[in-house]
Each structure stands twice: as structure tokens, then as C-alpha cells.
């Protein structure tokens, strides 16, 4: 009888303990705050620029002066050409010298007159004269001492009509303060080259002026100073047939020239196709 009473007492105690534990779990779950929705876990706006406007993380990476500006203001456009040549005349005096003649160094004085039909295309007439030349060491030795050379030729004048194509326009930043604009061009044409021919014989040498047809090919660079003034440097190879020492041959005269160019009219206007950019 006592054993039955003790068993009932233990069973009642265990029952009350289980009920109390269940009540504690229920109240704890009620007191715990609910999980936040996934949308609430998103990061807050990165930066407040004042008022109700917010700035995204991408805009924070931009400089302060571009934040909030339209795309057309934040992206720098490629600048237009600072110099236009179309429908303009060019007059260019220059000075040059031959660089590949083994016997003479000839000094040229040239005048070029050109017209720019389009921005990359032009036609040009060059007239040049070489009143000064310098005998090089091979002439002194082979003609004056060894008496091997009996006939020599040196250029005297040239007249060259050529076409010019300008495929490249660019600019260079100098000393971080000045931007120098330039273009590169190639040219080719033909004309006449006057050559003094000197034959050594008994008595006084015989000198005669021969007029030789020639072809020209070359290229150069033009640098722009302002709207009407340029500087340029070019190299031209004049190819012409001749007869020396009783042998027919083809000669190459390579001339390096440096000069300035004057454009007429002095100013120019930019032309645009009709369009409008809205910001």
C-alpha cells in the first residue's frame, strides 16, 4: 500500500514538471522577436547628399564634381580638330639639303604652292633651286687626285607637281600645359629635274645643263601653330634617269626639307551635320 502511494506521488510530480517546462518554452517563443524579412537586411543608402536624395555606391566612386550630373556631362567628349585645311591655299617656303649624294651636298631653296581640295587631299607644286653645293671627299680624291671620275652630275633645279594624302591627325601634350596638333602625310608626283653635268677632259672641263624627267615620292609632318601658320618637315626621293661615264643609270636624290606654311584665307569655320544633343 505504501509502495502504491509512493508511485502515485512520483508520477504526479513528473506530470507537473512536464507541464511547467512546456509553459516555459511557449512563453520564450512568444517573447523572441520574429526574423526580419530579407528585404530589411539590404544595406542602407551609402551616402546622403542632403534632403531626401540618396547616392548609390557607384556614384560614391566618382569625383565630387561629377556626382548627380547627367551622363553627357560626366563623360568627356573627344575634342574637335583645331585646324581645318579644306578649300584653303597653302604657300610654303622651305630650305633643304641632299642626304644621299656621295659626291656633292646640295642645298635647296624651295617654294611650294598647294590647294587643299578636301581635308585629307591636296595638290601641290614645288619649285626649287640649288645654287650652293659642297664637294665631298670622294670627289677630291677620285677626280682631282686619282683622275678616275671623268664625268659628274649635280642637281641645280627641280619642278615637281604632286598629290598629297593626309591619313593621320594627332596631338601631343608638351610640358603638361600646351597641346601641339599635327598631321602626317605622304605625297607622290613627277616633274623635271635640272642637272649640271661636268665632263673632265683635256683643257677646261665642259659643263652642260641637262633636263631630266623624274618621279617623286615622300612624306612629312605638319605642325599647327595657329589658324593660318604651320611648320613642316618632309623627305622626298627624286628618281630620274641619266647617263654618266657612258652608262645609262637611274639615280635617286633624297632631299630633307624644313619650312613654314601660310594658309589663305587666314581663318576657317567648322561645319556640322544638323543634329541636336539633349542633356
The predicted-structure confidence for 219-242, as pLDDT tens digits, reads as follows 999 999 999 999 999 999 999 998
Domain-located, residue 42: no
pLDDT of residue 75: 47
pLDDT of residue 241: 94
Domain-located, residue 277: no
Domain-located, residue 1: no
pLDDT of residue 22: 46
Domain-located, residue 166: yes
pLDDT of residue 65: 55
Task: Report the first-to-last Cα separation within the chain, whole angstroms.
Answer: 100
Query: Locate cell 631630266: which residue?
Result: 212
Which residue stretches of the chain are H helix? 2-31, 57-60, 71-74, 137-142
Task: Select the more confidently predicted residue: 41 or 150.
Answer: 150
Contact call for residues 168 and 186 (beta carbons, < 8 A): no
Q: What is the mean pLDDT of residues 40-69?
A: 50
Q: What angle do CA 165, 93, 242 make, to 5 degrees?
A: 75
Q: Is the pLDDT of residue 14 over 60?
A: no
Cα–Cα distances (Å) from 156 to 60, 105, 126, 138, 153, in that order, read 70, 12, 14, 20, 10
Distance, in Å, from the CA atom of 268 to the CA atom of 116, rounded to the nearest integer, reads: 13
Domain-located, residue 63: no
Task: Select the more confidently predicted residue: 22 or 117.
Answer: 117
Range of the domain at 253: 89-262
Residues 6+ apart with CB under 8 A from 85: 116, 119, 122, 166, 263
Q: Is the pLDDT of residue 167 over 60?
A: yes
Q: Is the pLDDT of residue 196 over 70?
A: yes
Which CATH number covers residue 235?
A: 2.40.160.20
Confidence grade of residue 165 (pLDDT, cut at 50, 70, 90): very high
Domain-located, residue 153: yes
- DSSP secondary-structure letter at 86? T
Task: Select the more confidently predicted residue: 147 or 131.
Answer: 131
Number of domains in the chain: 1
pLDDT of residue 42: 43
Beta bridge partners of 77: none
Percent of the chain with pLDDT over 90: 46
Q: Is the pLDDT of residue 46 over 50?
A: no
Domain-located, residue 136: yes
pLDDT of residue 102: 81
Average pLDDT over the chain, rounded to whole?
Answer: 77
Confidence grade of residue 271 (pLDDT, cut at 50, 70, 90): low
Domain-located, residue 76: no
Q: What is the mean pLDDT of residues 248-265?
A: 95
Q: What is the mean pLDDT of residues 272-279?
A: 45
Amino acid at each position: 500500500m505504501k509502495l502504491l502511494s509512493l508511485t502515485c506521488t512520483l508520477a504526479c510530480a513528473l506530470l507537473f514538471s512536464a507541464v511547467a517546462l512546456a509553459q516555459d518554452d511557449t512563453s520564450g517563443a512568444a517573447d523572441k522577436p520574429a526574423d526580419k524579412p530579407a528585404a530589411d537586411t539590404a544595406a542602407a543608402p551609402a551616402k546622403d547628399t542632403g534632403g531626401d536624395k540618396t547616392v548609390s555606391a557607384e556614384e560614391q566612386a566618382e569625383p565630387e564634381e561629377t556626382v548627380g550630373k547627367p551622363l553627357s556631362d560626366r563623360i568627356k567628349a573627344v575634342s574637335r580638330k583645331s585646324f581645318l585645311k579644306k578649300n584653303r591655299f597653302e604657300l610654303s617656303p622651305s630650305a633643304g639639303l641632299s642626304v644621299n649624294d656621295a659626291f656633292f651636298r646640295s642645298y635647296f631653296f624651295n617654294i611650294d604652292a598647294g590647294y587643299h581640295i578636301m581635308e585629307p587631299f591636296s595638290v601641290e607644286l614645288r619649285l626649287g633651286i640649288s645654287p650652293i653645293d659642297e664637294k665631298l671627299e670622294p670627289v677630291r680624291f677620285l677626280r682631282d687626285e686619282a683622275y678616275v671620275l671623268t664625268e659628274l652630275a649635280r642637281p641645280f633645279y627641280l619642278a615637281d607637281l604632286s598629290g598629297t594624302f593626309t591619313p593621320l591627325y594627332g596631338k601631343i601634350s608638351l610640358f603638361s600645359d600646351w597641346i601641339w596638333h599635327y598631321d602626317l602625310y605622304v605625297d607622290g608626283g613627277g616633274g623635271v629635274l635640272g642637272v649640271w653635268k661636268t665632263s673632265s677632259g683635256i683643257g677646261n672641263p665642259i659643263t652642260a645643263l641637262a633636263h631630266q624627267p623624274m618621279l617623286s615620292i615622300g612624306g612629312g609632318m605638319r605642325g599647327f601653330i595657329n589658324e593660318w601658320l604651320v611648320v613642316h618637315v618632309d623627305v622626298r626621293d627624286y628618281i630620274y634617269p641619266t647617263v654618266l661615264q657612258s652608262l645609262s643609270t637611274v639615280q635617286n636624290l633624297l632631299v630633307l626639307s624644313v619650312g613654314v606654311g601660310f594658309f589663305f584665307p587666314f581663318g576657317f569655320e567648322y561645319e556640322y551635320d544638323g543634329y541636336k544633343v539633349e542633356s
